[in-house]
Chains A and B, each alone.
Chain A
């Protein structure tokens, strides 16, 4: 995952480590970001994602390790000599300049000829659809418009990579969703590498080509949204991306492509595995709620868990089923409304089953078994 360093890697981090006093902000970051990629650094606050972005931008210097930009070590290069540009969380537009002057600031600082940069400024304002606002001051514009000015101001420099620090955090929900699509469109249009930092897993899944999930200064996993969602490398990733049921157990043996797992909550299940697990070791099985099916009968292939319905919560498109299994662990299933009305009531004994390959085995046990939400603090506390 990103270890290969081809000439098409715009940014390469080699053993990057950053500490502030005794606090380790980033620990051994090793990854590459490819040309034209939409790359997300995702994690809860304090996970080191913003510090990593600042080291790429040049506002922080790594304690150890190297940051390579277009193959060149820029670890000690000041920000004004690096060909990357940042869109700041609060945009940081110059309040005393018009929109056009803001956008022209970069080229003018680099002593580009007026005849060269003026058409480029106009072109960028067109890309972000703000041509008619060129002579306005930032204070006279809405949050979404200011954001687009910040984008144009950065992109006009034709940077090797555009760095975005929580670019949508300051916008309200509706605007945020619109800007997600807008950012994707702009990125396709200009073809520049986008590296963006977010704590919102939904945002990362929607927009990115690849995601680096970070926790407590370490990169937990790098992969496509699908890889990270379906094959999380750690319990943290499983709990942080979407919601998941994490059931601790011990591998008792292998049977064909399946591992036989004795659950801590009682009962034995079978689950398909890629790389064979170590027999006798502790693993957790991850079951995504939307891949569970409830029925009154157990499955014949050992891919089901028995429990008692605790609660049914109608959520519109689906119904959330909360099941209590064995020792009191809660398992959550999302049931799609098939139009036949509720066949299950609280108190019923049911079985939830899943298709082969829907369950995923992760080494280790979570400190709290059962369903997780995407509530960051709860996950951090639970793991």
Chain B
């Protein structure tokens, strides 16, 4: 009885593993491609054909002034917009989960809208607004645009993470003599923090990544994606691969740290 089950079980397992491997391959081939080509010495302006292995691209990753400047702008924008959006979005999520109030359901709809509306519509309409109001497009307008969609994203992510939060914990804290402020900092905040951090990291990535909305509202400002896009017409230097790989390594480092930190907390 058990033997055939095992055989069938192992076949199913083999099939599942094979499928999983293919799925992972599909996901990772483009990423590995980018990393691999950061070690390529290209012929001409386009780093798209494998020629010869080299470390020379990595000796000075920030040699390409245009790309480095653009990356710096992108990081600055993401830092500012993510900070603002994380605070605002988390507060919205807390309010929506914690209290029932008039307009709460409408609020839910408004939150989803910026994420479901096509970016091309959001980007162009925002640009129209800035032009109508005589606001010069640049760093500030890009930050404002990013905050707009990041707030929605953070609010929805945090709300999903704190679903099922035991609000009697707040009552318990107040019962034990904690003021509402102390209750927030000592009980509510530490418990929702992992969700808030996860939302912040993801929305930071969204900001770095955004092309369409940024394109409409950047004016003469060059962000990392805009710079790469602009240069692609004339050249595609290995520096793009080098910087992309650097970003990738940083992301993985943050992810691993987060996972380790999370599991350590669970074990204690």
Residues of A participating in the B interface, judged by any CB pair closer than 8 Å: 57-59, 78-81, 84-86, 88, 90, 92-96, 105-106, 109-110, 137, 153-154, 157
> Can you give 28 A-B contacts (C-beta < 8 A)?
A58-B175, A59-B171, A59-B175, A78-B174, A79-B175, A80-B175, A80-B176, A80-B177, A81-B177, A85-B176, A88-B171, A88-B172, A90-B168, A92-B166, A92-B168, A92-B169, A92-B171, A94-B172, A94-B187, A96-B191, A105-B186, A109-B173, A109-B182, A109-B186, A153-B176, A154-B175, A154-B176, A157-B177
Give the docked Cα–Cα distance between A78 and B169 (Å): 16
Which A residue's beta carbon lies closest to that of B170? A92
**A78, A95, A105: which contacts B176 (Cβ < 8 A)?**
A105
In the complex, how many residues of chain B place their beta carbon closer than 8 angstroms to a beta carbon of chain A?
19
Closest CB of chain A to B98's CB: distance in Å?
15
B interface vs A, CB < 8 Å? 166, 168-169, 171-180, 182, 186-187, 190-191, 268
Whether B174 and A80, one on each chain, are in contact in the complex, defined by CB atoms closer than 8 angstroms, is yes
Instruction: State A86–B173 Cα separation when bound (angstroms).
Output: 10
> How far is B179's CA from A370's CA once the two chains are assembled, in angstroms?
54
**Do residues A95 and B191 form an inter-chain contact, with CB atoms below 8 A?**
yes
Q: Given A109-B182, A137-B268, do A94 and B177 touch, yes or no (CB 8 Å)? A: no
Residues of A close to B180: CB separation below 8 A = 80
In Å, the complex CA distance between A90 and B172 comes to 11
- Inter-subunit contact A105/B173 (CB<8 Å): yes
**In the docked arrangement, what's the CA distance between A108 and B187, Å?**
13
Residues of A within 8 A of B172 (CB): 86, 88, 92-94
For B182, the closest partner residue in chain A by CB is A109
A105 — nearest CB in chain B belongs to which residue?
A: B176
Rounded to whole angstroms, the CA-CA distance of A109 and B174 in the bound complex is: 9
Query: B166, A105: Cβ atoms under 8 Å?
Result: no
Q: Known contacts A94-B187, A95-B191: does B169 contact A79 (CB below 8 Å)?
A: no
Instruction: Given A92-B166, A92-B168, check contact A106 B190 (CB 8 Å).
Output: no
Q: How far is the CB of B195 from chain A (nearest CB, A)?
A: 13
**Beta-carbon contact of A80 and B179 below 8 Å:** yes
Cβ contact within 8 Å between A96 and B190: yes
Closest 9 CB pairs of A and B: A106-B176, A92-B172, A109-B178, A109-B177, A92-B168, A79-B174, A80-B174, A110-B177, A86-B175
Residues of B within 8 A of A137 (CB): 268
Q: Is the CB of B177 within 8 A of A106?
A: yes
- A105-B186, A106-B177, A109-B182 are known; give 9 further A-B pairs, CB within 8 A: A80-B175, A80-B177, A80-B179, A86-B172, A92-B166, A93-B172, A96-B191, A109-B176, A153-B176
Complex Cα–Cα for A84 and B172 (A): 12
A residues in contact with B168, CB < 8 Å: 88, 90, 92
